[in-house]
Chain A
Amino acid sequence: MFSSFRQAMAWLHTWFGLVLGFVLMAAFFFGALSVFDREIDRWTVPTTRIAPQPMPSFEQVLRPAFERMHPTPAAIDAMRPRVDGAMPQHFDTVVNWSAYTTHRDPVLELYAGYEVPNAKDPEEAIWAYGTIDPRNGKALSDDQLKIGSGFFYPMHYSLTLDWKNLGIWIVGFSALMMLAALVSGVIMHRKLFREFFTFRPGKARLRSVLDLHNLTGVVALPFHFFFAFTGLVIFASTYYFPVGQTQLHGLHELHEQVEAQETGLPHDRAGVPAGLASVDAMVAEAQRRWAADGKAGDVGFLMMQHVGDANGYVSVYRAGTDRIALVGDGIHFKASTGELIRVDPPATPTGRVSEFLTGLHLQHFRHWLLRWFYMLGGLAGAVCIATGFVFFVEKRKRQHAQRGSQGARIVDALAVTTVTGMLLATLGILVANRLLPENLPARGDWERYAFWCIWALALLHAAWRSAPVAQGRANPAWREQCIAIATLALAAVVLNGITTGDYVWRTIATGYWPVAGIDLFLLCSAAVACLTARALKRRASAAQSRIADMGMARV
């Protein structure tokens, strides 16, 4: 079929790149946004615009907050089919309480799991979630959509297609094929080193597009490779090869019990009620031990297992802000007495590699420069895919126009939707977030609808304006959507100022960078979109006059 290996690679790169490029574009773009997910949360939930807080006192703040928690009626309804007989309305036996925070979180997330007496799977718990202000323990409304960590981040790894985890599988398959695309891309590239720094914007259209595609692909190759790979590693054992939950289920249970024996952390409740010693004292002891180990730091995750039982224990994990590897250095105490049960031993070499790889992708570290570099890598990937689309269309549209084929036209319309349309949808959800009334029921759902509606409108617009592509010319939708992007980005900044009083000059003056940074980024995006629209207009009128000249010459 192919006369050379390189040709076969080119076929693979072209077609898999085209089909999966649409998915990868979303993964790259929303991944880049997820680097700053907590900051986007601050922008979209103005009541949480406060400075990050450390883990608060358990006795004074956390315990009362945990005791107030209860599963929502919706969670109880969802559990009903997995219970034999009547569904209990109260859940008194707490399986575990846990609290999680990072160095970028001003609010604290709480989780509580309760035993369900008649559950078909006795191991299954029912969960309650809460968000509190760590300064005073006040519960914050939990139904406001955290657009950064609750929408853009799931978009990155699952496209929010939750049915049977379909989205996670689609993104995973695309990441796997992306690794193949990277290898085939390197093989196709004849002058990887000689053209390492090459970008010739003035050259013929096809050449300059290919230059940019190669440049953004090659210089960020380590980033592209490691992020596709570590993304797969993160989900491998939970979703892609869940042998522990399927074929090895019996062994898995047994392993849990053996592990409990080895670690001394009880697997089951004793059935004997017991009190709770001072958790703050346990936390202080854990911090003292970390400091003695040369790893002083804050608590990231605090968990209590078998609450109120003689077998109960408290686990304190460190927030890993000073290194890449995602380690907790967990220290465990007996809940009723506060006596030390266990200090997690250092990981095996394999474990350390895995911690480094997952930590590299999940980025819990405190390093703003590296965060911005990740953003740069993600956007370079997005540019690489976008130029791939443009190259595909530019290479074929004249031939397709001569043959009367609609292929290039369809791909171009889809490319407009995935590149500029996705930006419009993203800006649209931010604008909707500022425009919708504060106490609208199910506000988060309306925000999501706004996102998908705007994206659908962008698709319709791109398709409606695509006729010129079938004649070998450019689709004006590119330029028009650039203008819309600039408008929406400006609108988001202005609306943020009007609705919250946090005008961009004020947030800069007070140094509240989560919000100021996003506003500044939006303003820069608006400027880039304007410049792009202007360049596209200049190019369109140049093409117009060329066609007119040709017409004159023919006359």
Chain B
Amino acid sequence: MYPRSLVTTVVALGVAAVAMSGVPAVGQAPRPGGVLNVTQREDSPQGFAIHETSTISTVWPAMPCLSNLVIFDPLKQQESAESVVGELAEKWAWQDGNRSLVLSLRKNVKWHDGQPFTSKDVKFTFDMVRGAPDAGKLRINPRKGWYENVEAIEAPDPHTVVFRLKRPQPSLLLMLASGYSPVYAAHVPPAQYRTTCVGTGPFKVKEWRKGEFIDYVKNPDYFIEGRPYLDGMRYVVIKERGTRVAALQAGQVDVSFPGDMSPTSGEQLKNAVPGIVVRPTHENVNNNIIMNMKKPPFDNAKVRLAVSHAIDRRALTTAVHQGGGVVGAAMAPKPHGVWGLPEKELLALPGYGTDPAEEKEKARRILRDLGFTPQNPLRVEMATRAIAIYVDMASFVINELKQVGIEATLKQVETAQWHAMATRGDYQIGANLTGIGPDDPDANFYENYVCGSPRNYSFYCSEQVEKMIEQQSAELDPAKRMRMVWDIQKRLEQDAARPMLNWRLDHFTTWPKVKNLVPHQSLYNWGRMQEVWLDR
């Protein structure tokens, strides 16, 4: 029996923790007004042109200006099919045997330049993104693959839009809900979004001082009554990490940059500023190993498996990421993600077992069978991006590989060259990071694992897996689909298609006065800010 005072204290601390967690506090009515200062790690690389990039450095500061058809509920921590809510679309329905998604659009929505928003804008945007003939063209189009299944987009009247699909695809709605899927104005050239923003979002761009800040003011014509709560926002570019942490501590910024805070920085801030809110937040970004299957020795699945067995993922998480990571397979692990493998099945995969010595022995056995011994080790070159978070991971992996008889030398590749090199296949093995927009199997598998997909740096290509991916994509029964997605993940790890090392955890930090800013399990989808308010 615990003393009554101890129980009371524990309960009180628990309640306080929940109240501080950014979830709308019970009994606290949102108060309008105030300016939120938000950290920005670098100047937005593509301005507000979200469709032309994948980096969070653009998505995060550009989201408040734009709107989607649908979006993940900003106040729910876990994104899923159930958390999708309307944004420019008031309601939607699947028709024609789930081959048509019919969306009814809000009326009286205006672009920031005063022009009316209509279904033409939606058709213009998504025809352009899917690369339809006679549509506008994006300079760079990283998510064209998301819309391969879209046969046509129709705008029968100004307030209705229909996505006609080749086959049912429940994921379409989740991809449309991602921060990567804003609607552009048809009357604005897409290139203009690189310098200015004409959106329908809760905030209008007031000023973008290059390399310094982006200033937003409240959009008085925003289509949701009473939103946004804030009068404005400033995204302050702070290049130096130490200065970013100091700026948070000094209260010059109220919110950290998503994906930027390590457990150590979070701890340091918590010690320095009582009451500051630090939340371990899943990023939907994984650390992984890419192996070029077009070239020996990694065209041999056994060699790839040996690599996967050799790496102690838990030690990597502790030693390199200071505990800021979770071990999982190709989909975000539970409880953060929806589609992650159950623990038991994960532990049975090559390299994921809890006994690293046993896993390493398996790796040595495979290599021995292939003729590699300590006297005759397998020599490879490990490429990675010349950025600390990549190099630290690669160095750890090299040490792990050495223990099983793989001698890897580190080759640091300048950032400008990294993706070009990986896409060309000018490497043997690499330490890589992959971010995925929504926590959704289609968004992940079609981008990273199907034959010839744009980010399939390993050149993995399996007809059988591709079929499995197509089948899960069309499956309407959620429970059945879940099992299919698990099977795909197991198969990907058994083939060592791209062994996952861990999934990154951010220690997202806000001042306690910041309310209703709820981080989701993917850092790309919750930057709209219309629900955020300041308890001043």
- A is bound by B: no
Partner-B contacts on A (CB < 8 A): none
